[in-house]
Amino acid sequence: MNMAPDPLSTKFAALADPTRRAILARLALGETSVSKLAEPFAMSLPAVSKHLKVLENAGLITRGREAQWRPARLEPEALMDVDSWLEQYRALWESRFDRLDAYLKTLQAKDKNKKKRAAAKRRRRLAAGSALKAKEKSRG
């Protein structure tokens, strides 16, 4: 049985390509034509059109028709289910980063205390060495 991928998988597949993510970033600024979208890329207009078709099939963009101009526009609400899916993992990772931050602070505090003890030990050695030299000097 051949099952069609779920909409979320289709969106993630469309977002997996860096060119398509760059196109979406450009469309976040406003609708524009295929030729304008193609300008920053070293690819043909048909190649950009293929990327747009993938984005359109995923529901991330829509394409209109105004005479000869076919503007593409971002459909931001289409990203809502992607954001909802990511939100559950965002909370998990924030918790893990908070624990990592606390652990690193503990390590830094230990390191700071270790450096303080080492510095105090050096000062005691210097003081003991100076006292010994002074004692030897007074005998000599």
Q: Are residues 66 and 46 in the same domain?
A: yes
Asked if 56 and 63 touch (Cβ cutoff 8 Å), the reply is yes
Domain edge (last residue) among 53, 74, 95: 74
Q: Are residues 13 and 52 in the same domain?
A: yes
- Residue ranges making up the domain that contains 92: 83-140
97 pLDDT band, cuts 50/70/90, is very high
Domain-embedded: residue 122: yes
Task: Supply φ then ψ for residue 6, to 5 degrees.
Answer: -70, 160
Query: Model's pTM, two decimal places?
Result: 0.65
Pull the structure tokens for residue 61: 């963009």
Assess whether 66 and 96 both reside in one domain: no
Give residue 17's pLDDT.
97
Same domain for 68 and 87? no
The answer to whether residues 35 and 93 belong to one domain is: no
Query: Which has the minimum average pLDDT: 86-95, 107-116, 124-133?
Result: 124-133
Model confidence at 1, in pLDDT bands (50, 70, 90)?
Answer: low
Cα dihedral 10→16→19→23 (10° resolution): 50
In a domain, 1, yes or no: no
One domain, residues 70 and 98: no
Q: Are residues 17 and 70 in the same domain?
A: yes
Among 25, 45, 74, identify where a domain stops.
Answer: 74
